[in-house]
Amino acid sequence: MEFYPELIGIGQRAKNAARRLLTLGTLEKNQALMAMAKALIEHEAEILAANMQDVERAEAKGYKKSLLNRLRLTSAGLREMAKALDELAGLPDPVGEGEFWTRPNGLRIQRTRVPLGVIAMIYEARPNVTVDSAALCLKSGNAVILRGGSEAIESNKVLARVIAGAAETQGIPEGAIQLIGETGRDWVEQLMKMNSYVDVIIPRGGAGLIQTVIQQSTVPVIETGTGICHAFVDEEADFAKAVPIVINAKTQKPGVCNALETLLVAAPIAHTFLPIIGEELKNRGVEVRGCEQTCALLPYATSAQEEDWATEYLDLILSVKVVKDLDVALDHIFKYSTRHSETIITENYSRAQRFLREVDSAAVYVNASTRFTDGGRFGFGAEIGISTQKLHARGPMGLKELTTVKYMVYGDGHIVE
């Protein structure tokens, strides 16, 4: 494939920067992160003005409210982003972590964590991903090439310029943080084939984007998953816990991958629990798509179709199904889950433990909202995505997941006999 010269330049600068990042210590990286945080606040007016251009253009195109919410930046949101950078600076640096052992022949072997190298991020209309990804890659010693969605292009251009400039004032090499400012699909197609410059690609967005990258990329991919997340309200659930958990998981931020998409309710409590939770969902503008029994108990619900159980809505829509018991709930989750996050609400210890053991997802909860599947809430600082695969990372990917290992072996004239 013939690559655009501009894209080759981006790749070369990133590769050179990754080499220089190997020589930097934790202090230099932390100072850069704090400078980036300060720059976000200092350039607030410029960033918000650029973001307003993106929002107005998206509104004119009639984009859904859920996408607009992901796209829109606020003063408070920028301060949260800056705070996250400062907190990331305070986290342990994974680079250099490892262990040392000596073989019987005296050969000394050290296994140590090292950066992946050059990471390409391909993502959609979430400007915060620009900052989160750059910060995580920097702290873990990686250069990053950012390619956000066209919906957020003006926001991303300003954000990338501001944080890259701030990092470079602290000795971070030019090219460590770069944004592809072109929005044509051909740029992504070429980026996915740049094995000579890019070590790994991480797609972050909807199912269509993720599957396109997985199927077309020749560069290794860390798959971040779509989230058809489930909650099972067991017959021994405490309604005082179940109602706020379901409402939080569905409505606190519906346009994200850890939001609840399907609610399963045990049949013995359906006639009492569904009217309660149904009224709460209705009051919050949630459209309910239910099974036959759900529709009988909630007259305002519409009938769920087969595709509803396999849909990540990212909106105020919830699929609801009455199931006989835990076994049927586990069967449903096994069939439709994207292996992201699932929760059981129950006071029964044995069923809770079965759920934890038998649900094969990256994060499995008892009596808690699926919205906790997040690098920050897990104590990792910001996250670069939620991996639903099993190699090389799973769940919220923080700093350690952006490193690999290498072996440094010390000999004294050792040879193999």
Which pLDDT score, from 0 to 100, does residue 91 have? 94
According to CATH, the topology of domain 5-224+397-410 is Aldehyde Dehydrogenase; Chain A, domain 1 (3.40.605)
Which pLDDT score, from 0 to 100, does residue 251 have? 97
DSSP H/E element including 47: helix 44-60
Question: Is residue 167 within 8 Å of residue 44, measured between CB atoms?
Answer: no
- Integer Cα distance of 188 and 263 in angstroms: 36
Chain segment 345-379, per-residue pLDDT in tens:
999 999 999 999 999 999 999 999 999 999 889 98
pTM of the model: 0.90
Which residue ranges does the chain devote to CATH 3.40.605.10? 5-224+397-410
Which pLDDT score, from 0 to 100, does residue 195 have? 97
Block means of pLDDT (10 residues each) for the chain, 417 residues, are 95 98 97 98 98 97 87 96 94 96 97 98 93 96 97 98 98 98 95 98 90 95 90 98 98 93 98 98 98 97 97 95 98 97 98 98 98 89 84 90 97 95
Q: What is the DSSP letter of 284?
A: T
Which pLDDT score, from 0 to 100, does residue 354 have? 98
Which pLDDT score, from 0 to 100, does residue 356 have? 98
- Integer Cα distance of 327 and 312 in angstroms: 23
- Integer Cα distance of 197 and 8 in angstroms: 8
Question: Is residue 219 within 8 Å of residue 187, measured between CB atoms?
Answer: no
CA 314, 317, 323: angle at the middle one, nearest 5? 115
Burial class (CB in 10 A: 0-12, 13-18, 19+), 357: exposed
Which pLDDT score, from 0 to 100, does residue 64 have? 85
Which pLDDT score, from 0 to 100, does residue 125 have? 86
DSSP 208-242: HHHHHHHHH-SS-B-PBPP--EEEEE-TT--HHHH
DSSP 17-35: HHHHHTT--HHHHHHHHHH
Which residue ranges does the chain devote to CATH 3.40.309.10? 229-372
| Token representation of residue 76 | 């408070």
- Integer Cα distance of 351 and 358 in angstroms: 10
Chain segment 50-104, per-residue pLDDT in tens:
999 999 999 999 998 878 988 999 999 999 999 999 999 999 999 999 999 999 9
Q: What is the DSSP letter of 109?
A: E
Question: Is residue 35 within 8 Å of residue 167, measured between CB atoms?
Answer: yes
Q: Which of 128, 177, 91, 145 is nearest to 399 (CA)?
A: 91
Q: What is the DSSP letter of 267?
A: H
Strand-pairing partners, residue 123, are 204
According to CATH, the topology of domain 229-372 is Aldehyde Dehydrogenase; Chain A, domain 2 (3.40.309)
Which pLDDT score, from 0 to 100, does residue 56 have? 97
Q: What is the DSSP letter of 261?
A: E
Which pLDDT score, from 0 to 100, does residue 352 have? 98
SS3 state at 119? strand
What is the DSSP pairing of strand 98-102 with strand 108-115? antiparallel
